[in-house]
Structure 1
Amino acid sequence: MADPVPVSSDPDALTIDPKTGELLPEATPAATIIVFREPRFGGAPELLMVERSAQMVFAGGAVVFPGGRVDPDDHALARSLDHTLEPDEAAARIAAIRETIEETGLGIGFADSPQGDALARARAAMHAGAVFSDLVRECGWRFDLAAMTPFTRWRPPFNNHRVFDTRFYIAQCESHDHIVEVDATENRHLFWATAAQALAMAEEGKVKLIFPTRRNLERLAQFSSISQAREHLAQYPSRMIMPYIEDRGGQQHLCIPDGLGYPVTSEPLSGAMRT
């Protein structure tokens, strides 16, 4: 079984499959925020999830966390900010913030939370083609990139039509008053649910989960608060995860390495939704 590969900014570190030694297909950098919200009346934290349009090439019809690809403007904006992060890491966090606004209207990762109407105007402008960095300057927004805690990073080694190198972060939504609305373009529905509720919905056939989302929800279901999740991450820092296929008892399984904090590390390939 392959050992986990530490996250690295060295581009050469991500070009070889650590299990097979083969050259990896080129991957598109992406970023995602897992937004935690404490429920009004106690219990496990709720997570913000979006259901992608069935027409989308990647994860069509599946329920995922808000996020998307890292754009050149995210890098440009990251370079203009005062931070101590590696360039790719800072750009990924900017991308996750931007995509969450575009997809849900929720502002996460800001030093001072923007007003809802300002977020709504910025969101509409981005949907009309406006550049995020221009909107940030016009609004005078400042970021708190440290509010986003690295959770995991997935990069399938398979030669699929689209391969994403996705950094996942966890962050807290402090208020129940934020209005979140689906973008009705890439996504068709959004909702708040505990990790256990989302998994139960998948078991009942109400939603579809791709392999990484299912594994991440199983991991998230272990936590009763975002502080507990962060304590867990002190033991299991964010690592690169590359799924692999392995024969187990005559049946092919899609697997991830042990020792990364995931309670379930494999699933029969026949039932796994990969993209």
Structure 2
Amino acid sequence: MSSPEAIPAATVIVMRDTGSGPPELLMVERSRAMAFAGGALVFPGGRIDPGDHLLTDRHEDAAARVAAIRETIEEVGLALGLDCDGESLAKLRAALHAGEPFAQLLAEAGLALDLDALVPFARWLPHGLPHRVFDTLFYLARAPEGAAPQVDGSENVRLCWITAQGALDAADRGEAMLIYPTRRNLERLAQFDGFEAAMAHARRFPIEPITPFVESRGGVDWLCIPDGLGYPVTAERMDRAVRA
């Protein structure tokens, strides 16, 4: 049976430095009713819509960056690469929830996107899954000053600021569910003491599709990813891996 065609998507890892310890990441818990990654702790993001291609510039991946910014506004009410006050942001978010086009809303408000606020981090492209598959570009972004995100209460039921290691520990205690790509990304993010270090690290590695594969080791199947892309852990036993 062939895999479904991959759906282009974008996700943003919003990071804030604490000054007294590891940086914190903004994560959301998806509603258990969602078909994809229901109940999982993930980063904000979603599919790239046709309208996202209307707001393009010199970036080859411009539509993905636009989608990451739009989805972050919709899901958590946080503006990345966008200079607007709280009232304007609330109106923009409400209009997006009502289905109004992002490009039109920005034009009417006289707002422009700074796509350089997003730093490419990774690209994940699974295959061989019986359900929908996402071709997802991951980005890093620094949390805006005074950020006060709010969960949307529909696709996501709660949000939290948490360190990468904190999220991994919560999953190991059974207090959170992490799908395979999220766990690998958290292990990578746990290496950094701040946003600048994470950004410098990300720029040292190529953004190539990461497609997990199964490898038998001593009679045990492991779900693996390629080496050389910045990930400190590249394999997990299949019977322990959580696939969306």
With the shorter chain as reference, the TM-score category is over 0.9
Tell me if structure 2 keeps the 8 A contact 1:245–1:254.
yes
Q: Partner residue of 1:102?
A: 74
Q: Structure 1 counterpart of 2:74, which letter?
A: E
Q: Structure 1 counterpart of 2:32, which letter?
A: A
Q: Residues of 1 paired with 2:241 and 2:129: CA distance?
A: 17
Q: Structure 2 counterpart of 1:76, which letter?
A: L
Q: Partner residue of 2:65?
A: 93
Task: Give the secondary structure class of the aligned counterpart of 1:272.
Answer: coil
The reply to whether residue 201 of structure 1 matches residue 175 of structure 2 is no
The reply to whether residue 27 of structure 1 matches residue 1 of structure 2 is no
The reply to whether residue 66 of structure 1 matches residue 40 of structure 2 is no
The reply to whether residue 236 of structure 1 matches residue 205 of structure 2 is yes
Q: Residues of 2 paired with 1:129 and 1:261: CA distance?
A: 38
Q: Residues of 1 paired with 2:161 and 2:3: CA distance?
A: 36
The reply to whether residue 84 of structure 1 matches residue 63 of structure 2 is no
Equivalent of 2:116 in 131, 140, 146:
146
Q: Partner residue of 1:132?
A: 102
**TM-score, length-normalised on structure 1?**
0.85
Task: Give the secondary structure class of the aligned counterpart of 2:222.
Answer: strand
Q: Partner residue of 2:32?
A: 54
- 1:237 is displaced (CA, Å) by 2.7
Task: Give the secondary structure class of the aligned counterpart of 1:96.
Answer: helix
The CA RMSD over aligned residues, in Å, is 1.5
- 1:178 is displaced (CA, Å) by 2.1
CA shift digits 1:92-116 (9 cap, x unpaired)? 0000000000000000122xx2111
CA shift digits 1:18-58 (9 cap, x unpaired)? xxxxx86410000011001112x521111100000001010
Equivalent of 1:227 in 188, 191, 196:
196
Q: Partner residue of 1:10?
A: none
Q: Residues of 2 paired with 1:85 and 1:270: CA distance?
A: 40
Tell me if structure 2 keeps the 8 A contact 1:116–1:178.
no
Q: Residues of 2 paired with 1:169 and 1:233: CA distance?
A: 9
Percent identical across equivalent pairs? 55
Tell me if structure 1 keeps the 8 A contact 2:117–2:141.
yes
Residues paired across the two proteins, number: 244
Q: Residues of 2 paired with 1:188 and 1:230: CA distance?
A: 29
Provide runs of 4+ in structure 1 moved above 6 Å. none
Task: Give the secondary structure class of the aligned counterpart of 1:227.
Answer: helix
Tell me if structure 2 keeps the 8 A contact 1:116–1:179.
no
The runs of 5 or more residues in structure 2 that have no matched partner are none
